[in-house]
Amino acid sequence: MNQLSDYHRDRVQAVLAASPLVPVIAIQNAEDALPLCRALVDGGIRVLEITLRTEHGVRAIEQIRKAIPEAWVGAGTVTSIAQYRQVESAGAQFVITPGVTEAILEFGVTSEAPLLPGISTVSELMMGYAFGYREFKFFPAEVSGGIPAIKAFSGPFPDVTFCPTGGINRKTAADYLALKNVKAVGGSWLTPADAIAAGRWGEITDIARASLADL
C-alpha cells in the first residue's frame, strides 16, 4: 500500500491554515464564477472550494486559478477518479470528496492535487488513516453527530484534524472551530443563491467579512 507523502500533507495543512472558512461553491451560471469568487476573496476568504455539483465546475476552476492567483482554488464533490483527473488537469490545488473509496484514497496518495477525503464514520477514517491521511472532511457534519462526534473522534485519533461541512451556518461555525481537532469549517451560507442570482456581489463580500469577524 502506498503511503501519503509529507508533501501532500503539508499542502493540505497549508490549505486548511489559509482560511478558517471554506465556501462550498456551486456555479449555476458560468458568468457568475469570477465575480462570485472575487467577492469572496475581497471579503477575506482565501480558500475556494468549487464543487462539481454543476457542469460549470471544471471550467470555473481553470478560470479562477488564472484570474485569482492569490487564493487556493480546489475542487469539491469529486466522486470518481475520472473527475479527479479532470480537476487535476484544470489546475485544482486540492481535491475534496464527500466520501471515500479505497481507489480514490490510493489515487490521492500520488496525485498532483492533494486530497482531503470526506468521512462520516470511524471505519472510513480508519481506511484513510491506513494510507497516511490525517486531515479529513467530516460530512455531512450536523446529521453525522456534529460537535459531539468530532470530540469523540479525538480520543482514539488525537493526531487527526477535520474540516466539517454540512448543515453548519454562520452562528455555529465558531463552535466547531473552538474544537482543537477542527482547523477549518465549510459552508454554503457564504454563497447565498438569491444574492448570486441577482449579482449582489457586495452583499457576498459583506457576508464573508462579517462571518470571519464572528470567529
Place of cell 484570474: 67
Q: Which of the following is catalytic: 49, 88, 124, 142?
A: 49
Q: Which residues of 144-169 are buried (b: 16+ CB within 10 A; e: fewer)?
A: bbbbebbeebbeebeebbbbbbbebe
Q: What single-letter DSSP state applies at residue 30?
A: G
Pairing of β 72-76 and β 47-51: parallel
12 residue type, one letter? V
Three-state DSSP class for residue 14: helix
Distance CA 186, CA 172 (A): 11
Q: Which of the following is catalytic: 88, 124, 135, 137?
A: 137
Q: Is 137 a catalytic residue?
A: yes
88, 80, 74, 81: which is closest to 163 by C-alpha?
74
Contact 145, 22 (CB under 8 A): no
Distance CA 172, CA 149 (A): 15
What amino acid positions are annotated as catalytic residues? 49, 137
